[in-house]
Chains A and B, each alone.
Chain A
Amino acid sequence: MNRHISEQYDAELDSARSLLLEMGGLVEQQLQQACQSLYNHDLDLADKVRTGDAAINQLEVDIDDLCAQIIARRQPAATDLRTLISVMKASTDLERIGDEAERIAKMAQKVANLKQPADHYGDIREMASMVHVMLADALDAFARLSAEGAVKVIDADEAVDDAYDNIVKEKGAAMKSDPDSIEQSLTILWVARALERCGDHAKNLCEYIVYLVKGTDVRHADAAAAVSDS
């Protein structure tokens, strides 16, 4: 992409993109640590995640503010316009992932006094690692402006949804057969639900990347077909 005649404009757009990536990095870390606090019944780490959400919220506000400033001053068009729209929408989804991380940390605090489940959260670990990869790949696709990378993440969401469905089935059965496990199982269900939502948000983020790069709105549509057509 060529540079703007106004270097200041380039700098403003660069800072909007960098802020989003900074927010993405922070959200990734929050989600990782939230899961760790659950696996290890680590109250301190869970507490750290819960207080850490404020920084993410602040970044969302800062990004919106910066984008509004650029829109008002520059009347962006074409890629510049799509960049700002995508950054603003993506920051909303990242903020939501931050909220889910906080929710997982809250669950971790609730179960910290219970005994570890027999499989040491094996099913959650598996699902969480899929979501971590999705989020990392989504941020990578954003940084590299890769529509193809974004489509891969969009496609990966199905596996996360399947993993969630399996956990729901398993825990439903477990609660019936062993009423003592209800508290534990319910917590795991809540965490699985939060992770499933994180997958959806990562997918949304990638839909904005496709819009940014290709100019096609692939929400509620076949993203792979839209990208290979254009």
Chain B
Amino acid sequence: MSEENKPIDEAAQSVPAPVIDRAAEDKDREPSPTSLLVDKLSLFYGSQQALVDIDMRIPQKEVTAFIGPSGCGKSTLLRCFNRMNDLIDGVTVNGHVLLDGYDIFAPEIDVAQLRRRIGMVFQRPNPFPKTIYENVAYGLRIQGAPPKAEMDEIVEWALRSAAIWDEVKDRLKESALGLSGGQQQRLVIARAVAVKPSVLLLDEPASALDPISTLKIEELIHQLKSEYTIVIVTHNMQQAARVSDNTAFLYLGELIEFGRTQQVFTNPQEQQTEDYITGRYG
């Protein structure tokens, strides 16, 4: 029997199993290109400093989680990335955030355009009081609606990307408010994805959901990271451990530790991180 004609099993047996050194693999891996570069970012609410000189590199097409106790600045930092803080009176921002090399605080930046590139999903699902279809089509209509056939295609694609197509395909003309909380949250993600952003910001996206819906959102995050850079704020440390590639721990407005999630959760380098993730008094 020639080498090519060997049954698959036998051929497989003759090949030694490759030795996989996962730790070395992670060490040697090429770092992903940068999506967001945070450079000496400080933020003040009036005279109160909420972020202190944050430096951080958020890699493309990976999931980065922000963890830390309430009031540590994690949501504030997330909201800087699509300039949601612009909407709050008395906010001063110093420093830079570069998206693919461009400063998002530069005066020439069109904020609406920026928010199309950097989509956001909040803790409470916030679908519009419109049909499921219109919720997803909304962002596209604002940009100038494509022809109907193309719109249909994009809506289906976005709903599929958000892993909710099968549940809603027969009720696209019904109100989005009739969906369950978990479905609404996935619809909102479909709405964010429809305008093809490069970054998705998720602010506690599953904290108002039941455990099964939470797992569906987590599974969705895992699927979405092949296309998008994802930054997630979560109070749930196990969730951060499950879904993220990188973890940032913030405390009192400072970035205490930023590292690969597997390392942060098994062997954090800073005592404050250790105390927080193990539930100790710091």
Contact = CB atoms under 8 A, between A and B. Distances in A.
Given A78-B265, A82-B266, A82-B267, A2 B237 contact: no
Contacts of B280: 1-5
Interface stretch (B85-93, B112-120, B220-228, B270-278): B270-278
Given A77-B237, A77-B241, A79-B274, A4 B268 contact: no
Contacts of B282: 2
A5 to B, nearest CB: 5
A215 interface: yes
Contacts of B273: 78
Interface residues of B, number: 17
Contact of B278 (A79, A215, A216, A217): A79
A214 B241 CA distance: 20
B238 interface: yes
A78 B267 CA distance: 5
A82 B268 CA distance: 11
Contacts of A215: 266-267
B238 A78 contact: no
A123 to B, nearest CB: 40
Given A75-B238, A79-B274, A4 B267 contact: no
Interface string B239-282: 00100000000000000000000000111100001110111111
Contact of A78 (B23, B266, B281): B266
A77 B265 contact: yes
Contacts of B265: 77-78, 81
Contacts of A3: 280-281
Contacts of A79: 274, 278
Interface hub of A4, A6, A82 (most chain B Cβ within 10 A): A4
A76 interface: yes
A77 B275 contact: no
Nearest to B23: A217
Nearest to B277: A77
A82 B277 CA distance: 13
A6 B281 CA distance: 10
B248 to A, nearest CB: 16
A4 B279 contact: yes
B281 A77 contact: no
Given A75-B238, A77-B241, A79-B274, A9 B266 contact: no
A81 B275 CA distance: 13
A2 B241 CA distance: 22
Nearest to B280: A2
Contacts of A6: 279
A186 B217 CA distance: 65
A140 interface: no
Nearest to B269: A215
Contacts of B23: 217
Contacts of B281: 2-5
Interface in A207-221: 215-217
B279 A78 contact: no
Residue in B23, B274, B278 with the greatest tally of chain A CB atoms within 10 Å? B278
B25 to A, nearest CB: 14
A153 B25 CA distance: 30
Given A75-B238, A79-B274, A9 B279 contact: yes
B67 to A, nearest CB: 11
B172 to A, nearest CB: 39
Interface in A56-77: 75-77
Nearest to A6: B279
A80 interface: yes
Contacts of A9: 279
B275 to A, nearest CB: 5
A6 B268 CA distance: 20
Contacts of B275: 2
21 contacts: A2-B280, A2-B281, A4-B278, A4-B279, A5-B279, A5-B280, A9-B279, A75-B238, A77-B266, A77-B277, A78-B266, A78-B268, A78-B273, A79-B278, A81-B265, A81-B266, A82-B266, A82-B267, A215-B266, A215-B267, A216-B267
Given A3-B280, A3-B281, A77-B241, 10 more contacts: A2-B282, A4-B278, A4-B280, A6-B279, A75-B238, A77-B266, A77-B277, A78-B265, A78-B274, A82-B267
Interface of A: 1-6, 9, 75-82, 215-217
Interface of B: 23, 237-238, 241, 265-268, 273-275, 277-282
Top 7 A-B residue pairs of the complex, sorted by shortest distance between their CB atoms: A215-B267, A2-B280, A77-B277, A77-B265, A80-B278, A78-B274, A2-B281
